[in-house]
Structure 1
Amino acid sequence: MYALRPSFSVSSRLNPPSFLRIHPFLYYFFSSSSSSSHTQSSASNAIVVQYLIDTFQLSPARAASIMSCRRGLQSTEKPQSVYKYLSDLGFSDAHIRSAIRLAPQIAFSNIEKTLKPKIEFFQNLGLVGSDLSKFISRHSTLLTVSLEKKLMPSVEILKNILPKDNCNDDLLLVIRRWSDRLMRTPCKRLSININYLQSCGIVDSQLLMLLKRQSSLFGRSESRLKDIVSVVVEIGFSTNTRMFVHGLHAISSVSKVTLKKKVELICSFGITEKECMRMFTSAPVLIRTSIGKLKLGLEFFMNEAKVSKSDIVGSPACLMHAMQGRVLPRYRVLQIVKSKRLMKKHPKFILTLGMSDEDFLDRFVCRFPDNMKDLLVAYRGNSVSAK
């Protein structure tokens, strides 16, 4: 435990005490007053700052900033107690440092009244041992919110809508992914938004999917959430189909401005807005695909591969495949198959993109042993020698 050092006067600024020489910034930060009593207090306060630096590996500036609103604190007793408490729970030094960096205020929390009840709350949910230490190290900000007013009500709401299981696996997964928003979203808003989405037909596994993948949706204002749902319906997604939740996930992931740009881009290739909406409803992930990727795909399929507009509208998933990893290798192979007339009937190129690598190679490479070398070179892009 850090012992209090002898006090030092203002005149000693030019020759700071040895325990501050490593970080002179701290000395000047805490010795700005000409008051002797204030300087004594500042010296003790600086000891706490030094403890934060040494124990939790905070930067001098960060540690000083944390202590700037705790000028009267002159003892390392609280942060030492918190360190020991977490260590006794099995937290490694790395986990403790990570937790403190995310939420430094917990280093000064009352263990019995504040930390212990919240830790026990998470333990009762199934987080124990290394799972607990990993969770807290990454989501320690949850220890700074009210247990009775925030954590318990929010978790209870989630438990009521998630599938029941003894291990709370889904619940814990949602909490891990939603920890930051869990602190900011009022319980009433969370409940209202869940009820509204359920009224739209999004229940059970679909609701769980949204909680896992797009938790921010549940923190939106009720009016904003209804606006998003309206856009999803306008595009053509029906609340009576299972595709509605995928449309909601996609639309909530992009801004109105970005969505408009994507529609304009697709339409610039001769596709009507109505056809564009049909593409979105059959392949919602297309909405989340970057503008650059969409442009590259449309240019290749329509200008290079000469795929018809109707085929692209009918199979929009072709625009989401990796160009270098799947599209170009298969295109090169099929070009050779066609040029050498190895097949009497050639399949539509975009339909082959949905095949697994194994099936594609079996059907268009391995079945032609006399041409296998050339086909493999084309498939691999000349990067690997055929054997």
Structure 2
Amino acid sequence: MRDGLSGFLMKSLNFSRSRALVVSNRSSRATSNSLENSRAVIEYFQKLGFSDAQIRSSVIVCPQILFADIGKTLKPKLDFLQGLGLVGADLGSYISKSASVLSVSLDKRLVPNVHILKGVLFNDEDNRDLIVVLRRCKWIVSKDPESVLMRNIAFLESHGVTGCQQRMLLKRQPSLFVAKESRLNGLVSRVLKMGFSLNSGMLAYALYSVSCISVKTVGKKVKLFRDFGFSEENIILMFRRAPTLLRVSEEKLKFGIDFFLNVMKCKRTLIVGRPSCLMHSMEDCVVARFRVLQVVKLKGLMKKDPSFVAMVELNEEAFIERFISRFRDDTEQLLLAYKGHILDV
């Protein structure tokens, strides 16, 4: 019946012949009765608002759903997901990438895992954060809750990652909560070697940052700072103060360091003290606000020159109010200095 299944997929879901054969070869339950069930499953998904493309992707991810009992297996799980806020096209989008969740136990996996996640994501009444987590890590509700999710939460808590820090880490890097214990141990070892301490308020941010990049990439960024004359101690201090600095591209770091040291003529100690200044958009924020500062100085609009780092760290509304709109006679020139690069495009 595998030829029958491949033909069915080509006709019902517009599969290419090669893709249909791959899916049918992964399916050992194809019979004449099961093809009728598959047709019913597809119709059921369509009634839920799934597009043909979403159904096709779902079948590719987990062909077994075609042979699942709608009433006993699919509907209870999809009802549960709908109750969380995933409905219509959103539900279809989620299932198209995470159809394997329909093959795990509702009572032993889905429900307890979601309950645990909601405990970490406290005050998430509308489940927005939960849905973000589910979309970012399709395996997070499929693993055994006790031996995986609870174990990793306990591991993080034993290293001081609790409360809001744990919530942040779950939202940004949920895969860590289902990672192998050896990977978590390795990440903790890396951040401790970088100078972070257990129970540090920045440990969670450091874990997030190093989990996103390789040891080799970290080494390249450390070398970049060294090439600009920063000491090992300075580099460690900057990463401790702003762990997400590790995720800034080498190109952006190089441009930013060069700008502050060679254009602004800032001392290295300024960057060490406020490493977050390297994380802002260089063209739209740092360089643009530097042009505004030049106009302010040229026209003597302020009795005392403002701190440029402080200017960079202001939000958009506060910056415009403090350095542009208050100077009514010069607003147009200041605004042109600030946004002129955008107008030129």
> TM-score, length-normalised on structure 1?
0.76
Residue number in structure 1 paired with 2:24: 67
Asked whether 1:207 is paired with 2:169, we answer no
Instruction: Give the 3 Å change call, closer, same or farther, for CA 66–372 of structure 1 in structure 2.
Output: closer
Distance 2:116 2:15 in 1: 37
Q: How far apart, CA to CA, are the structure 2 residues paired with 1:62 and 1:275? A: 54
Structure with greater proportional helix content: 2
Give 1:10's aligned residue: none
How many angstroms apart in 2 are the aligned matches of 1:315 and 1:195? 33
**Counterpart of 1:19?**
none
Q: Helix, strand or coil for the counterpart of 1:295?
A: helix
What is the match of residue 41 of structure 2?
Answer: 82
Instruction: Give 2:269's aligned residue.
Output: 310
Q: Is residue 2:214 matched to residue 1:255?
A: yes
> What amino acid does structure 2 have at the position aligned with 1:111?
I
In structure 1, the partner of 2:185 is: 226
Distance 1:384 1:129 in 2: 41
Larger mean Cα displacement after TM superposition, 182-191 or 97-106: 182-191
- Residue 141 of structure 1 aligns with which residue? 100
What do the CA deviations read for 1:217-269 (whole angstroms, capped 9, x no partner)? Answer: 12332233122113223333333342222222222222211112211211221
- For residues 287 and 246 of structure 1, the distance between their equivalents in structure 2, rounded to whole angstroms, comes to 10
Residue 240 (1) aligns with residue 199 (2): yes
Find the aligned partners of 2:116 and 2:157 in 1 and give their Cα distance: 13
Is 1:293 aligned with 2:256? Answer: no
Determine the structure 2 residue equivalent to 1:196: 155
SS in 1 for 2:212: coil
Counterparts of 2:218 and 2:329 in 1: how far apart (Å)?
49
Deviation, structure 1 residue 289? 1.0
- Within 5 Å, give how 1:297-376 maps onto structure 2: 297-376=256-335
Q: Matched residue pairs, number? A: 342
For 1:52, the equivalent position in structure 2 comes to 9
TM-score w.r.t. structure 2 length?
A: 0.85
Cα distance, 1:69 vs. partner? Answer: 5.0
Change (3 A) 1:265 1:49: same
3-state secondary structure, aligned to 1:353:
helix
Percent of aligned positions with the same letter in both sequences? 44
Aligned residue number for residue 62 of structure 2: 103
Greater gyration radius: 1
Partner Cα separation in structure 2 for residue 89 and residue 372 of structure 1: 54
- Measure the CA separation in 2 of the matches of 1:74 and 1:215: 39
| Residues 149 and 177 in structure 2, CA contact (< 8 A), matched pair in contact too | yes
Q: CA deviation at 1:66?
A: 1.7
The answer as to whether partners of 2:205 and 2:243 remain within 8 angstroms in 1 is yes
- Shift in Å, 1:141: 2.2
Render the CA deviation track for 1:136-159: whole Å, top value 9, x for unaligned.
344222113354664455445435
Matched letter for residue 99 of structure 1: S
Structure 1 residues 335 and 123: alpha-carbon distance in aligned structure 2, compared to 1, 3 A threshold:
closer
2:25 counterpart letter in structure 1? S
Unaligned runs of 5+ in 2: none
Secondary structure class of the residue paired with 1:240: coil
Paired with 1:357 and 1:124, the residues of 2 have a C-alpha distance of 38
Distance in 2 of aligned mates of 1:286 and 1:87: 45
Structure 1: unaligned runs, 5 residues or longer: 1-43
**For 2:306, what is the secondary structure of its paired residue?**
coil
Distance 1:104 1:322, change over 3 A: same
Following TM superposition, by how much is the alpha carbon of 1:333 offset from its aligned partner in structure 2, in angstroms? 1.8
Q: Report which structure shows greater RCO (CA 8 Å, sep ≥6).
A: 2
Q: 1:173 to 1:320 in 2, by over 3 A?
A: closer
CA distance in 2, matches of 1:118, 1:370: 64
C-alpha separation in 1, matches of 2:144 and 2:219: 29
Task: Select 1:158's aligned residue among 104, 108, 117.
Answer: 117
Q: 1:214 offset after TM fit, Å?
A: 0.8
Classify 1:365/1:231 alpha carbon distance in 2 versus 1 (closer, same or farther; 3 Å): same
Quote the offset at 1:282 in angstroms.
1.6
State how far apart, in whole Å, the 1-side matches of 2:129 and 2:332 are. 49
Q: Verify the 8 A CA contact 1:246 1:284 in the aligned structure 2.
A: yes
1:103–1:140 contact (8 Å) kept in structure 2: yes
In 1, Cα distance between equivalents of 2:81 and 2:64: 19
Report the Cα distance in structure 2 between the residues aligned to 1:303 and 1:187, rounded to whole angstroms. 55
For 2:195 and 2:93, the matched residues in 1 are separated by 43
**For 1:321 and 1:262, how far apart are their aligned partners in 2?**
17
Cα distance, 1:367–1:83 mapped onto 2, change above 3 Å: closer
Distance (whole Å) between structure 2 residues aligned to residue 301 and residue 162 of structure 1 = 39
